[in-house]
């Protein structure tokens, strides 16, 4: 597995590379995410998302993820981050086979971040036997002992309450997430375009979670509270073959509004911008590509890689101009298929907190 | 510096004048290095392949969860344990039949396979997707592919009619095993949703729930072993090889020691001259060490090449032995690591320096002018003999202690080592005593001189004689053991192979067809079905054999111990015959109860007899055929024996072969099976025989070089006798008699020593290593033969110096009185 191989945001690149699908990667975007979707269901505009069904897996699509990030603080005001992610990847299209013959592969990532340290772990599992999976009703997503479980009386429209837990050799956490406001559809009513050629995914979020629980680093428990953001996305070919990586932001503005932005980097040096502005009322408005200005301002060396860990973001039409800094510039996920994912804080016309993910570096 | 170079040149000129001596020195070093490194290479090769096997198994090196009774268990435990935080990975294991050949099949789950137990990286490079997705892959080692006589990509059909995924070469895999995805394995082995064991990874995933709360008492944790079963089983074999290697190494060093001693003796005047010319003792010594190191490097390199050749030559036999004795698969091609070369060179240099240490010490202390001090020397020798004798007694006492209080294989080898070392140390004292007694019993002057001078020679010869004693003793011991084994084995084979024809059908259907075809034939007197199941008892693999109640067994089967009504009780189904190995490992006696785990619970059986089962690495229990089928309904019942009138055997074999397309592996008559068994047996001991011969040969060379050394330094002793009128011919004859008599005494001493070694091998080492005890027999003819070989070797070794003496110019003898000393 060559070092030149990079991961995409939420792309199940890890699994793809593990599966040896990474052939001719450069020609097909990262790790085959830009590969042809032959045999899998296409992502088309105008498909209404329905809940709770869409909380569950969509095996007819090639890739899918349940992605949670949380910005937390302890009693003394120290900041922490937590990540819980479950990826699904289908090795082959067609009707689902039973038992070990099932063609789904699952991958889990979990991490906690503080200003001083960044801990992470990963897990792999095959579908069909129960080691990992997702059910829509009651809502549960799990891989090994890591779990995301809908609490009693979970509302399908809010995904609340939700209990999340993960543990590894040197960290663990349990969080309870609650939200009052309904889920938010990203892109155009849940249809999120990823390139000018029409690559897209289905994408919805719950950005309004309040989080409470405890994290533990090296056996020392810390009570924490904060905010969390859950993303759900599935697709069969989310990237164009000439896209090399992306930078993705989820921001909790001080005003209570939320902002999701991403920049897809293309091999020709140009970028594809997209984002949604989520108002206090929960209404999600798609931003036009020309309305988004994102550029790096400082970088951090991690190994032989240079990661742009500080950014300037401007949405002039919304009067937004902010600078972001990472809680821990070394929030490197050194998993089988590495990327950068960690909590950030920002200031400027608005202040707040959020999460940054960078892939393909 | 140039002075040192000149000194070196002068010292080296000695070898130019004595090329034979140089050759002897090199031969000693080369043979020491060659045998030692050859044996090391063999051990290394075998160990590497055990590691390979262990890695594929994900077996002993990884902690495991196994069923209470070693049986398979439901797959849901895997998921339950993963969900409770256990880093477990499921494995399904069993045997399948391909084209009549039984092969081990391993089903793995590559995603959860612990990194430390896995061949997953290797799978990964080939593409995990190819392994997981239909049609999947059957990974196998090149050796296995060749053995199956199939080509890559083939999809052979198993006996139950299911096709294997395409065969895919995987050179890192151990031979003799097929690896497929767990789902494919469950299908092939007809074990849906069952797993054989769970590997427990070392990498912690945080907290894990207590095992009890997840699986109740269904599973138990087996901690990883420091060494694998195979390593434990084969330890004795490798220890054996190492012991031989060490023995040859020491004997080789004896040669080096005497060759350097001789060179020193001859260079003494040269050294004195150099010292007198102003060369310092330190410089002389440094130059001599450098000279020796250079020679050792050269000899070490040649020795390594010879060692490689020896190892490569013996490897097929070693592999056959290990396969025959332990079922261990060793690839037939030698691959060596760089460490092996370094170790070989190092041991050559260190050995040479150690062997030369006495000579070098003498050179340091060499006074410029030295006078002969024979009487003082004899006094010193007396004290030395006493001290060595005392050491011998102490070593014997230690050996006795090991025998009485030790209970392991290692203590068995310690007893052996103590016997050999004690005997070697005690030899000079015993020889001294015998010669002293000889001297006391004679009055005639020349005879008295004969004995006294033999004693004087003793210290110079003792190392070579020790080598001879050890080589002979080990030869006698191993020879007696192998011969005892061979006779017992042959008698046992005759009893066990009582049926005339042995058959193994490819499937139960074919077995039924064959039986139906045989039944009406008049020449078939009886069809004796044989069933087989495999279980685990006390963590050991045990095969349960079902045999028919028939006179064939009642009349012929040789039992080591048996209770009353053995055969009736076995036929009733409540009694079992237990193999000697299993009885020893589980400490079972007649009348004890053994519980056999079956699919439907435990099956209690009384031990009604114990029988020998030579060469089987697994434990074995034999029960009535009907009882076996009742308790193991799924067991293979494809094997049977036929009683046929001997004259009709060839015709029936041909008919069976043609009718049912059976090959040599699945159809054999008694004589062919016996011949095959004996061939395997002989091959097993071929290595031992080869090493034996090597050792004896090296001991002969050691004796030769010692005598050459002595003959030179003994001129001052012989010249006076010549001067008082004893002819050179007579003198030579006396010298020959002296050598032969000490050699004869040594050889005679070697006989009881050898028998002691044989007893130790049979009664201690074999029992611990293999679990079987053989009757101890003495073979006088074999002993006489070895005695003859030893005397012949001594005669050959003694002849060159004697001939030299006979042809010596009188002037040289006269010269003794003129110069030197």
Q: Rounded to an integer, what is the distance from CA A40 to the centroid of its chain?
A: 22
Q: Which helix (H) or strand (E) holds A278?
A: strand A271-278
Express each pLDDT in B615-628 by its tens digit.
Answer: 676 788 999 988 88
Cross-chain Cβ contact B128/A131 below 8 Å: no
Cross-chain Cβ contact A167/B207 below 8 Å: yes
Domain ranges for chain A: 13-358
Report chain B's mean pLDDT, rounded to a whole number: 80
**Residues of A with Cβ-Cβ distance to B191 under 8 angstroms:** none
| pLDDT at site A6 | 28
Rounded Cα distance between B55 and B174, Å, is: 8
Rounded Cα distance between B372 and A165, Å, is: 92
| pLDDT at site A34 | 47
Cross-chain Cβ contact B182/A100 below 8 Å: yes
pLDDT higher at A354 or A269: A354
Expressed in angstroms, the distance from the first to the final Cα of chain B is: 32
Cross-chain Cβ contact A91/B129 below 8 Å: yes
Q: Which of B12, B20, B57 is nearest to B288 (CA)?
A: B12
Express each pLDDT in B266-290 by its tens digit.
Answer: 777 788 788 888 888 788 888 888 8
| pLDDT at site B119 | 46
ipTM at complex level: 0.89
Least confident of B124-138, B210-224, B544-558: B124-138
Cross-chain Cβ contact B79/A131 below 8 Å: yes
Rounded Cα distance between B392 and B423, Å, is: 7
Distances (CA, A) of B766 to A81, B488, B773: 65, 14, 7
Report chain A's mean pLDDT, rounded to a whole number: 87
Q: Are A48 and A285 in contact (CB under 8 A)?
A: no
Cross-chain Cβ contact A124/B111 below 8 Å: yes
Q: Are B583 and B773 in contact (CB under 8 A)?
A: no
Rounded Cα distance between A147 and A84, Å, is: 9
Closest-CA distance of chain A to residue B146, Å: 28
What residue of B is the nearest CA neighbor of A93?
A: B133
What's the whole-number mean pLDDT along residues B591-610?
86
At B126, the pLDDT band (50, 70, 90 cuts) reads very low
Cross-chain Cβ contact B129/A20 below 8 Å: yes
What's the whole-number mean pLDDT along residues B518-524?
87
Q: Crossing angle, helix B670-713 and helix B281-326, to 10 degrees? A: 170
Phi, psi of A356, rounded to the nearest 5 degrees = -125, 135
Closest-CA distance of chain B to residue A19, Å: 5
Express each pLDDT in B337-369 by its tens digit.
Answer: 778 888 888 888 888 888 888 777 777 776 655
3-state secondary structure of A298: strand
Instruction: Pick A131's closest partner by Cβ from B82, B124, B134.
Output: B82
- Residue ranges with strand state E in A183-257: 184-185, 191-193, 200-217, 220-235, 243-253
* B403-409: long-range pairs with CB below 8 Å, 24+: B403/B764, B408/B768, B409/B235, B409/B236, B409/B239, B409/B765, B409/B768, B409/B769
At A306, the pLDDT band (50, 70, 90 cuts) reads very high
At B224, the pLDDT band (50, 70, 90 cuts) reads low
The answer on pLDDT for B229 being more than 60 is: no
At B80, the pLDDT band (50, 70, 90 cuts) reads very high
Rounded Cα distance between B488 and B745, Å, is: 32
**Residues of A with Cβ-Cβ distance to B205 under 8 angstroms:** 121, 123, 144-145, 167-169
The answer on pLDDT for A54 being more than 90 is: yes
Phi, psi of A351, rounded to the nearest 5 degrees = -115, 170
What residue of A is the nearest CA neighbor of B79?
A: A131
pLDDT higher at B682 or B23: B23
Rounded Cα distance between A359 and A357, Å, is: 7
Cross-chain Cβ contact B127/A19 below 8 Å: yes
The answer on pLDDT for B324 being more than 70 is: no
Q: Rounded to an integer, what is the distance from CA A71 to the centroid of its chain?
A: 14
What's the whole-number mean pLDDT along residues A82-94?
92
Express each pLDDT in B774-814 by its tens digit.
Answer: 888 888 988 898 888 888 888 888 888 888 888 888 887 78
What residue of A is the nearest CA neighbor of B84?
A: A145
**Residues of B with Cβ-Cβ distance to A129 under 8 angstroms:** 75, 78-79
pLDDT higher at B363 or A17: B363
Q: Which helix (H) or strand (E) holds A295?
A: strand A293-302
Distances (CA, A) of B545 to B360, B548, B579, B594, B636: 66, 10, 11, 15, 10
Q: Are B476 and B780 in contact (CB under 8 A)?
A: no
Rounded Cα distance between A31 and A4, Å, is: 11
What's the whole-number mean pLDDT along residues A61-87?
96
Q: Which of B205, B208, B210, B214 to mutate to test the interface with A (most CBs of A within 10 A)?
A: B205
| pLDDT at site B327 | 60
- The share of chain B scoring above pLDDT 70, in percent, equals 86
Which residues have a Cβ under 8 Å from the Cβ of B563 and sit 6 or more positions away? B569, B575, B590, B591, B608, B609
Q: Which of B47, B56, B39 is nearest to B230 (CA)?
A: B47
Which residues have a Cβ under 8 Å from the Cβ of B247 and sit 6 or more positions away? B470, B471, B474, B695
Instruction: Pick B133's closest partner by Cβ from A18, A91, A166.
Output: A91
Instruction: Pick B83's closest partner by Cβ from A91, A101, A144.
Output: A144
Cross-chain Cβ contact A100/B205 below 8 Å: no
| pLDDT at site A11 | 34
Least confident of A22-36, B610-624, B692-706: A22-36
What's the whole-number mean pLDDT along residues B589-607?
86
Is A5's Cβ below 8 Å from some Cβ in B?
A: no
The answer on pLDDT for B704 being more than 80 is: no
| Strand pairing class (B194-195; B73-74) | antiparallel
CA angle B92, B97, B102 (to 5 degrees): 85
Rounded Cα distance between B281 and B360, Å, is: 11
Rounded Cα distance between B354 and B361, Å, is: 11
Closest-CA distance of chain A to residue B686, Å: 48
| pLDDT at site B236 | 60
The answer on pLDDT for A172 being more than 90 is: yes
**Residues of B with Cβ-Cβ distance to A174 under 8 angstroms:** none
**Residues of A with Cβ-Cβ distance to B133 under 8 angstroms:** 91-92, 103
What residue of A is the nearest CA neighbor of B82?
A: A144
The answer on pLDDT for B197 being more than 50 is: yes
Number of A/B CB contacts below 8 angstroms equals: 75
| pLDDT at site B122 | 46
With an 8 Å Cβ cutoff, the interface of chain B facing chain A consists of: 75-76, 78-79, 82-85, 109, 111-112, 124, 126-130, 132-134, 181-183, 186, 193, 203-208
**Residues of B with Cβ-Cβ distance to A92 under 8 angstroms:** 133
What residue of A is the nearest CA neighbor of B78?
A: A131
| pLDDT at site A4 | 26
Instruction: Pick B183's closest partner by Cβ from A100, A123, A144.
Output: A100
Q: Are B790 and B699 in contact (CB under 8 A)?
A: no
| pLDDT at site A67 | 95
Rounded Cα distance between B607 and B120, Å, is: 45
The answer on pLDDT for B294 being more than 60 is: yes
Q: Which residues of B218-234 are buried (b: 16+ CB within 10 A; e: fewer)?
A: ebeebebeeebbbbebb
DSSP for B158-191?
Answer: BTTS-BPPPEEE-TTSPTTEEEEEHHHHHHHTT-
Rounded Cα distance between A127 and A130, Å, is: 7
pLDDT higher at A33 or B725: B725
What residue of B is the nearest CA neighbor of A23?
A: B127
Is A100's Cβ below 8 Å from some Cβ in B?
A: yes
What's the whole-number mean pLDDT along residues B45-53?
70
| Strand pairing class (A332-333; A320-326) | unpaired
Rounded Cα distance between B451 and B434, Å, is: 9
Cross-chain Cβ contact A145/B76 below 8 Å: no
At B205, the pLDDT band (50, 70, 90 cuts) reads low
What's the whole-number mean pLDDT along residues B590-613?
86
Q: Which helix (H) or strand (E) holds B407?
A: none
What's the whole-number mean pLDDT along residues B16-29?
80
Q: Rounded to an integer, what is the distance from CA A70 to the centroid of its chain?
A: 11
- Residue ranges with strand state E in B128-287: 138-140, 167-169, 177-181, 194-195, 197-200, 219-222
| pLDDT at site B194 | 92
Residue B135: asked if its preceding bond is cis (omega within 30°), the reply is: yes
pLDDT higher at B237 or B749: B749
| pLDDT at site B235 | 65
Which ranges in B366-507 belong to alpha helices (H)?
A: 374-405, 409-441, 445-496
| pLDDT at site A351 | 95
Is A126's Cβ below 8 Å from some Cβ in B?
A: yes
Q: Which helix (H) or strand (E) holds A301?
A: strand A293-302
Closest-CA distance of chain A to residue B775, Å: 55
- The share of chain B scoring above pLDDT 90, in percent, equals 8
Expressed in angstroms, the distance from the first to the final Cα of chain A is: 15
At A25, the pLDDT band (50, 70, 90 cuts) reads very low
Residue B170: asked if its preceding bond is cis (omega within 30°), the reply is: no
The one-character DSSP state at A29 is B
Q: Which of B518, B206, B374, B660 is nearest to A122 (CA)?
A: B206
**Residues of A with Cβ-Cβ distance to B108 under 8 angstroms:** none
Cross-chain Cβ contact B128/A103 below 8 Å: no
Is A124's Cβ below 8 Å from some Cβ in B?
A: yes
| Burial environment of residue B446 by CB neighbours within 10 A (0 to 12, 13 to 18, 19 or more) | exposed
Give domain A13-358's CATH architecture: Beta Barrel (2.40)
What's the whole-number mean pLDDT along residues A95-118?
94
Instruction: Pick A91's closest partner by Cβ from B85, B132, B186.
Output: B132
Q: Which residues of B235-261 are buried (b: 16+ CB within 10 A; e: fewer)?
A: ebbbbbbbbbbebbbbbbbbbbbbbbb
Residue A138: asked if its preceding bond is cis (omega within 30°), the reply is: yes
Express each pLDDT in B232-268 by its tens digit.
Answer: 556 666 766 777 777 777 777 777 777 777 777 777 7
pLDDT higher at B497 or B380: B497
What's the whole-number mean pLDDT along residues B726-732?
86
Rounded Cα distance between A242 and A91, Å, is: 22
> If contacts are CB pairs under 8 Å, which of residues 137-176 in chain A contact chain B?
142, 144-145, 166-169, 172
Which residues have a Cβ under 8 Å from the Cβ of B3 and sit 6 or more positions away? B279, B283
At B58, the pLDDT band (50, 70, 90 cuts) reads very low
Cross-chain Cβ contact B111/A20 below 8 Å: no
Of the ranges A343-352, B1-10, B275-284, B450-459, which is most confident?
A343-352
């Amino acid at each position: 597995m060559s070092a030149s191989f990079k991961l995409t945001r939420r792309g199940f690149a890890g699994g793809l590379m593990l599966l040896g699908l990474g052939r001719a990667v450069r020609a097909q975007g990262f790790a085959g995410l830009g590969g042809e979707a032959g045999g899998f269901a296409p992502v088309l505009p105008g498909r209404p998302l329905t809940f709770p069904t869409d909380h569950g897996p969509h095996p007819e699509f090639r890739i899918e993820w349940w992605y949670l990030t949380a910005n937390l603080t302890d009693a003394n005001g120290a900041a922490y981050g937590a990540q819980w992610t479950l990826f699904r990847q289908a090795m082959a299209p067609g009707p689902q086979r039973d038992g070990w013959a099932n063609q789904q592969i699952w991958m889990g990532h979990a991490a906690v971040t503080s200003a001083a340290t960044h801990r992470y772990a990963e897990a792999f599992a095959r579908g069909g036997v129960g080691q990992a999976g997702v059910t829509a009703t009651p809502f549960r997503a799990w891989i090994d002992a890591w779990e995301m479980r809908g609490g009693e009386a979970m509302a399908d429209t809010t995904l609340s309450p939700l209990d999340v837990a993960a543990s590894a050799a040197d960290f663990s956490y349990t969080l309870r997430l609650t939200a009052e406001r309904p889920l938010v559809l990203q892109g155009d009513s849940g249809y999120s375009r990823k390139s000018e050629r029409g690559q897209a995914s289905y994408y919805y979020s719950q950005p309004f979670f309040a989080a409470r629980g405890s994290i533990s680093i090296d056996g020392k428990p810390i009570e924490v509270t904060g905010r969390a953001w859950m993303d759900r996305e599935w697709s069969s070919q989310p990237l164009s073959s000439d896209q090399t990586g992306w930078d993705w932001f989820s921001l909790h503005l001080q005003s209570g509004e939320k902002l999701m932005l991403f920049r897809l980097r293309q091999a020709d040096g140009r970028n594809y911008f997209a984002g949604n502005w989520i108002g206090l009322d929960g209404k999600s408005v798609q931003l036009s590509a020309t309305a988004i200005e994102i550029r790096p301002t400082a970088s951090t060396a991690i190994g032989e890689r240079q990661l742009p860990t500080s950014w300037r973001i401007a949405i002039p039409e919304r009067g937004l101009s902010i600078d972001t800094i990472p809680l821990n510039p070394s929030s490197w996920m050194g998993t089988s298929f590495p990327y950068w994912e960690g909590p950030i804080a920002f200031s400027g016309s608005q202040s707040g907190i959020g999460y940054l993910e960078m892939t393909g570096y | 510096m140039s002075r040192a170079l000149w000194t070196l040149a002068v010292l080296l000129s000695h070898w130019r004048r004595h090329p034979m001596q140089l050759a002897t020195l090199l031969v000693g070093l080369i043979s020491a290095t060659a045998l030692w490194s050859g044996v090391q290479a063999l051990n290394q090769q075998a160990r590497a392949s055990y590691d390979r096997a262990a890695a594929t198994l994900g077996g002993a090196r990884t902690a495991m969860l196994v069923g209470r009774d070693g049986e398979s268990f439901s797959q849901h435990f895997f998921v339950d344990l993963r969900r409770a935080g256990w880093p477990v990975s499921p494995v399904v294991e069993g045997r399948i039949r391909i084209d009549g050949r039984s092969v081990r099949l391993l089903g793995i789950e590559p995603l959860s396979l612990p990194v430390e137990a896995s061949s997953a990286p290797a799978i990964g490079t080939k593409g995990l997707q190819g392994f997981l997705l239909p049609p999947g892959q059957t990974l196998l080692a090149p050796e296995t592919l060749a053995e199956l006589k199939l080509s890559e990509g083939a999809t052979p059909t198993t006996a139950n009619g299911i096709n294997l995924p395409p065969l895919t070469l995987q050179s890192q895999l151990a031979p003799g095993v097929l690896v497929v995805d767990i789902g494919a394995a469950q299908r092939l082995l007809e074990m849906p949703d069952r797993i054989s064991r769970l590997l427990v990874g070392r990498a912690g995933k945080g907290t894990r729930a207590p095992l009890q709360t997840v699986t109740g008492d269904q599973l138990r944790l087996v901690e990883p072993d420091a060494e694998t079963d195979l390593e434990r089983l084969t330890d004795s074999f490798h220890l054996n090889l190492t012991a031989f290697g060490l023995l040859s190494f020491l004997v080789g060093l004896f040669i080096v020691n005497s060759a350097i001693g001789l060179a020193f003796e001859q260079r003494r005047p040269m050294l004195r001259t150099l010292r007198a010319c102003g060369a310092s003792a330190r410089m002389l010594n440094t130059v001599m060490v450098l000279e020796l190191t250079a020679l050792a490097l050269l000899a070490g390199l040649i020795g390594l090449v010879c060692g490689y050749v020896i190892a490569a030559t013996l490897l097929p036999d070693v592999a056959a032995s290990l396969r025959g004795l332990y079922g261990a698969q060793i690839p037939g091609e030698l691959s060596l690591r760089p460490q092996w070369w370094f170790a070989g060179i190092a041991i050559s240099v260190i050995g040479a320096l150690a062997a030369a240490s006495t000579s070098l010490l003498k050179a340091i202390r060499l006074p410029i002018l030295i006078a002969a001090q024979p009487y003082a020397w004899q006094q010193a020798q007396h004290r030395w003999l006493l001290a060595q004798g005392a050491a011998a007694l102490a070593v014997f006492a230690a050996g006795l202690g090991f025998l009485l209080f030790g209970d392991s294989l290692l203590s068995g080898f310690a007893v052996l080592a103590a016997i050999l070392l004690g005997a070697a140390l005690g030899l000079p004292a015993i020889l001294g005593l015998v010669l002293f007694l000889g001297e006391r019993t004679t009055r005639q002057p020349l005879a008295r001189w004969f004995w006294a001078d033999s004693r004087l020679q003793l210290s110079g010869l003792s190392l070579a004689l020790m080598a001879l004693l050890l080589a002979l003793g080990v030869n006698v011991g191993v020879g007696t053991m192998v011969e005892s084994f061979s006779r017992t084995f042959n008698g046992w084979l005759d009893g066990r192979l009582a049926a005339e024809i042995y058959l193994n059908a490819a499937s139960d259907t074919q077995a039924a067809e064959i039986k139906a075809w045989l039944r009406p034939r008049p020449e078939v007197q009886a069809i004796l079905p044989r069933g087989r199941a495999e279980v685990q008892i006390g963590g050991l693999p045990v095969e349960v054999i079902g045999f028919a109640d028939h006179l064939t067994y009642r009349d012929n089967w040789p039992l080591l111990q048996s209770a009353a009504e053995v055969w009736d009780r076995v036929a009733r189904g409540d009694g079992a015959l237990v193999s000697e190995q299993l009885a020893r490992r589980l400490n079972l006696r007649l009348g004890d109860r053994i519980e056999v785990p079956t699919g439907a619970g435990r099956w209690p059986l009384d031990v009604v007899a114990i029988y020998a089962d030579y060469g089987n690495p697994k434990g074995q229990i034999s029960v009535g055929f009907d009882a076996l089928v009742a308790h193991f309904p799924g067991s293979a019942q494809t094997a049977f024996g036929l009683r046929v009138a001997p004259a009709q055997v060839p015709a029936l074999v041909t008919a069976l072969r043609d009718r049912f397309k059976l090959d040599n592996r699945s159809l054999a008559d008694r004589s062919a099976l016996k011949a095959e068994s004996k061939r395997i047996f002989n091959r097993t001991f071929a290595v031992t025989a080869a090493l034996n011969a090597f050792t004896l040969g090296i001991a002969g060379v050691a004796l030769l070089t010692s005598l050459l050394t002595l003959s030179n330094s003994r001129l001052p002793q012989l010249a006076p006798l010549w001067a008082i009128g004893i002819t050179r011919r007579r003198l030579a004859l006396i010298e020959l008699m002296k050598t032969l008599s000490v050699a004869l005494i040594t050889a005679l001493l070697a006989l009881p020593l050898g028998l002691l070694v044989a007893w130790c091998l049979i009664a201690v080492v074999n029992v611990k290593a293999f679990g079987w005890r053989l009757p101890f027999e003495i073979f006088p003819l074999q002993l006489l033969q070895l005695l003859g070989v030893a005397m012949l070797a001594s005669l050959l070794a003694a002849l060159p110096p004697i001939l030299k003496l006979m042809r010596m110019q009188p002037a040289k003898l006269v010269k003794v009185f003129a110069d030197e000393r």
